[in-house]
Amino acid sequence: MLVGERDVPAAFALRHSEAFPDPFDRRREIGTLALESLAHRVRVHIASVRQNWSVVPQDVSKRRSELHLLDVREPYEWDAGHIEGAQHIPLGELGPRLAEVPQEQVVVAVCRSGSRSDRAADGLRMSGFKAENLDGGVTAWLRAGLPLVAKGGGPGRVI
């Protein structure tokens, strides 16, 4: 963690008086977006907290209006079921279509399980975007009880 311009070791008690000595080892327990909120509350800047992190579906769902979802799956996967309002650009087309992705919001890359979208998020960050990966992809999204929509507008499914 950085306080001012110096590294400062820190620990936070978050659960049942359990010390939280290293946010990078246990980041998934409290979620990326929750860490940012925690850092703001204690007036500490966490350097690069968003880089190379995954976010969980519940965090994305709660902050949906602040985020831009980018689904990088193939067209047949998208047609079967996607998160309503997400942008669709297959991973293989992302490079040439980068100008279509807005830079004003944090981009959350999405795929079936989180593997392709992790590569997409890495590439977006290298291109100057603020980007994260949806941990577990649309599979985790659906498992969390969040809706998917099919191409025709009905309920979606993961294939």
The DSSP 8-state label assigned to residue 112 in this structure reads S
Cβ neighbours for 86, distance < 8 A, ≥ 6 positions apart: 69, 70, 71, 110
Instruction: Say which of 38, 89, 110, 111 is annotated catalytic.
Output: 111
Please report which residue ranges of 2-145 form alpha helices under DSSP H: 27-30, 32-41, 57-62, 75-80, 115-126, 137-143
Is residue 111 among the annotated active site residues? yes
Taking the C-alpha atoms of residue 70 and residue 121, their distance in angstroms, rounded to an integer, is 9
Active site residues: 111
